[in-house]
Structure 1
Amino acid sequence: MPDKNPLDLLNLGGLDKIEEKIDKAALSKATTEPTLGNIATLPGTWVGTGFNIIEVPNMNQAKPGPPPPDKFKVILNATSETLIFSPISGDIINRGNAQQDISFLGLHYLQNVSDVNLPAGNNGIHLETGLFLNLVASKDPLQGPTITRLGSIPHGDSILAQGKSFVVDGGGPQFDIADPTPFTIVDGKRVNDTSENYLSILKNTPPPPGISPEIVMNPNLLLSEAIKGQNIIKTVVILLDANPIDGVSNVPASDPVGGITNIPFVNVNANASTVSAIFWIETVQNADGSTFLQLQYTQTVILDFPVFGADPSQVVNIKWPHISVATLLLQP
């Protein structure tokens, strides 16, 4: 990760300073010469494996109401994945009013994730379709270039996640900890709930073959294992957030980035409130000098569903991390 917040452009604290950071010539050029920018290498079919952890309500009771602490379960999946990107033909034009029109390019994507340990035809665990857009800088609102991901999931969720992208030459990514521990928000900050009632289920749920207990408690370790010994000569990093919260997201909670809309059932029973993801598009060099493209990502979706506190009349609003990671290769 960079030393400075990649969204510095949005956090300078003054209109004049932000204006100084925007290249007016680039703004003019962007209206006539849109490009895919840092997502230009994504078109094609990517295939690989990964891991998924999700904590879900486990009511199984006739009486309605929020689940007590023992009424949730952890689901662990070793995954196989196919992710297909295809270009949108033609420029996407947004008409301006306070400024000139802007034009940009984008990609359509289709993601299929399956559990490798379930029989074919009954192993699908995630389907998502949507768009990746390479948005140009704009003057109104003042904003630098960003990547935006719009996604729809059959559970009844639609997301718009947005963030900066940048290129790192030489060396592979350094992965932070992806923490699956449930937590509450105290004074705007994440505070993990480390009660044995929660941690015991996280630690005692048998992991699938090939997944160690250490990976369960930090799925990003699987990403680190996948690139051991590789010579990664270039990495495109894409940061994406919707409804950020401190302690999870790439940007501060104060940044008004993206949004999520769910069907009413999801809002009430296990509300998907936050999405944070990092994509790494890696150019890997073989010993003979040839190269191939590799795509890694880590994604955390925060699910809000309540539990009873020590006092059964009290309900505690706990946030439950749903973490997915994968390493994919671009197919010839």
Structure 2
Amino acid sequence: MDIDMAAPQSYRKNTRRLIEVAQTGDDDLGPLKLLPGTWKNAEISPGIQDGRGWNVIALPFGGGQPPFRVLMNQYNEALMFSLVDKGVPNRGVTDDPDVNSTDQRIVTLDYQQSIHQIAAEDFPESGEKGDAGLAIHHEPGLFLHMLSHETEGLDIGRLATVPHGNSALALGKSEIVDGLAEIPETVNALAVGVGDDIENSPYLAPYKHFRDNRFTGVVDPNDVPGFPGFNPLDTTQLLREANANINVKRTTVLRLDTELQQAGIVNIPFIQKEADAASMQSTFWIQEVDNDGETQLRLQYLQVVMLDFFSPRRDGMPGDIRWPHVSINTMVKVAEPDPEQGKYMTTQSK
């Protein structure tokens, strides 16, 4: 299957609103056109059949010294994009009689994300890391493609809702790259505002523990020689490792940030008081892989959510200590959207 990413977007000329089951390659979706369907963890390299999702987060740990623990998860994920809403109108207002229309048109693609851990470790040990199969995340939301009236070139957005009590709007830009797009190096999960002397700082001991004792989850290094484990000081290493020895023909890059323009995160009062989710940055790499002449679709992502708690910072800067919550995954598309599943949402009244 080859998708023409340069194809014109036909819906720009059609202002009729339409809700339908999404289809891979639909030009109206623009940079989102490869997302429709279900993405899951599957075997990508020999010996690692699942668990390509990795997560690191610092959590308050009452009575501990330091007063937090670092939790590492290995997980499986299902990410499903199913319905597209075309021609969504945002009404614009102008007094200029020469302007034909100031309305903005948006195409949206809905998604459901479900994550279950298959292994976890924390340090210091709390007894609360959870067992294999534990549900650790669920998120319904929308990806947006702005067809007109873009502001400062921002052509995509993401609306995310999380059962903890968070609602996020991230904005960003899309890009199409020939071949394999660069994965950033040395994205670390160290707390921000306490220094970076991991060798000598007792406060950073939980991070040093996992740097020196890599979390490998269910992966047996004897079965996968050279497997580096998940390193909190280089959280993207496993993304880069997953790209070894594959032929990526083209990559669609979606970069999204809650700190752009009027984007942001809203939290319920408890979260705002105790561990405020202050920002979220995420990058999605949609890869078209040449697999013996057939195109396989892969999806990688890096997401960093900043949590603010334990104030004040210790570096003289204002605000609370900031704790990166970093998640990565590498998935493949396993199914196209099911028309039967969406029929009740798309049926038009007569």
Shorter-chain TM-score above 0.5: yes
User: Structure 1-normalised TM-score?
Assistant: 0.75
For 2:33, give the aligned amino acid.
Answer: A
* Shift of residue 95, structure 1, vs aligned partner: 1.3
Are 1:197 and 2:202 counterparts? yes
Are 1:285 and 2:290 counterparts? yes
Using the aligned pairs only, state the percent identity: 34
Supply the distance in 2 between the matched residues of 1:178 and 1:309 (Cα, whole angstroms): 20
Change (3 A) 1:31 1:183: farther
Contact map agreement 1:107 1:133 (CA 8 A) in 2: yes
Matches within 5 A, 1:198-277: 198-205=203-210, 207-209=215-217, 210=219, 212=228, 215-243=231-259, 255-256=260-261, 258-277=263-282
Supply the distance in 2 between the matched residues of 1:38 and 1:126 (Cα, whole angstroms): 26
Matches within 5 A, 1:98-177: 98=94, 100-117=102-119, 119=131, 122-138=133-149, 142-177=151-186
* Structure 2 residue matching 1:183: 3-state secondary structure: coil
| 1:178 aligned residue | 187
| 2:70 aligned residue | 74
Contact map agreement 1:296 1:328 (CA 8 A) in 2: yes
Supply the distance in 2 between the matched residues of 1:200 and 1:293 (Cα, whole angstroms): 40
* Structure 2 residue matching 1:268: 3-state secondary structure: helix
Change (3 A) 1:90 1:136: closer
Are 1:41 and 2:46 counterparts? no
Supply the distance in 2 between the matched residues of 1:236 and 1:128 (Cα, whole angstroms): 22
| Structure 2, gaps ≥5 residues long | 1-8, 17-26, 42-51, 95-100, 120-129, 220-226, 336-350
Deviates more, 1:89-98 or 1:163-172: 89-98
Are 1:328 and 2:331 counterparts? yes
* Structure 1 residue matching 2:232: 3-state secondary structure: helix
* Shift of residue 176, structure 1, vs aligned partner: 2.8
CA RMSD of aligned residues (A): 2.8
* Shift of residue 212, structure 1, vs aligned partner: 4.0
Are 1:317 and 2:320 counterparts? yes
| Paired residue total | 275
* Shift of residue 214, structure 1, vs aligned partner: 5.8
For 1:94, give the aligned amino acid.
Answer: N
Change (3 A) 1:308 1:104: closer
Contact map agreement 2:187 2:236 (CA 8 A) in 1: yes
Contact map agreement 1:77 1:208 (CA 8 A) in 2: no
Change (3 A) 1:193 1:239: farther
Contact map agreement 1:47 1:83 (CA 8 A) in 2: yes
1:93 to 68, 89, 92: 89
For 1:317, give the aligned amino acid.
Answer: D
Supply the distance in 1 between the matched residues of 2:256 and 2:191 (Cα, whole angstroms): 22
| 1:56 aligned residue | 59
For 1:156, give the aligned amino acid.
Answer: G
Are 1:84 and 2:117 counterparts? no
Supply the distance in 2 between the matched residues of 1:179 and 1:155 (Cα, whole angstroms): 24
Contact map agreement 1:137 1:144 (CA 8 A) in 2: no
CA deviation profile, 1:129-185 (whole Å, cap 9, x unmatched) = 10001012317xx44351100000011110000100010012343323211111129
CA deviation profile, 1:295-327 (whole Å, cap 9, x unmatched) = 0000000000015788xxxx9721000000000
For 1:39, give the aligned amino acid.
Answer: L
Supply the distance in 1 between the matched residues of 2:149 and 2:319 (Cα, whole angstroms): 42
Change (3 A) 1:119 1:76: closer
Supply the distance in 2 between the matched residues of 1:137 and 1:329 (Cα, whole angstroms): 31
Supply the distance in 2 between the matched residues of 1:102 and 1:32 (Cα, whole angstroms): 10
Supply the distance in 2 between the matched residues of 1:156 and 1:170 (Cα, whole angstroms): 39
Supply the distance in 2 between the matched residues of 1:236 and 1:110 (Cα, whole angstroms): 20
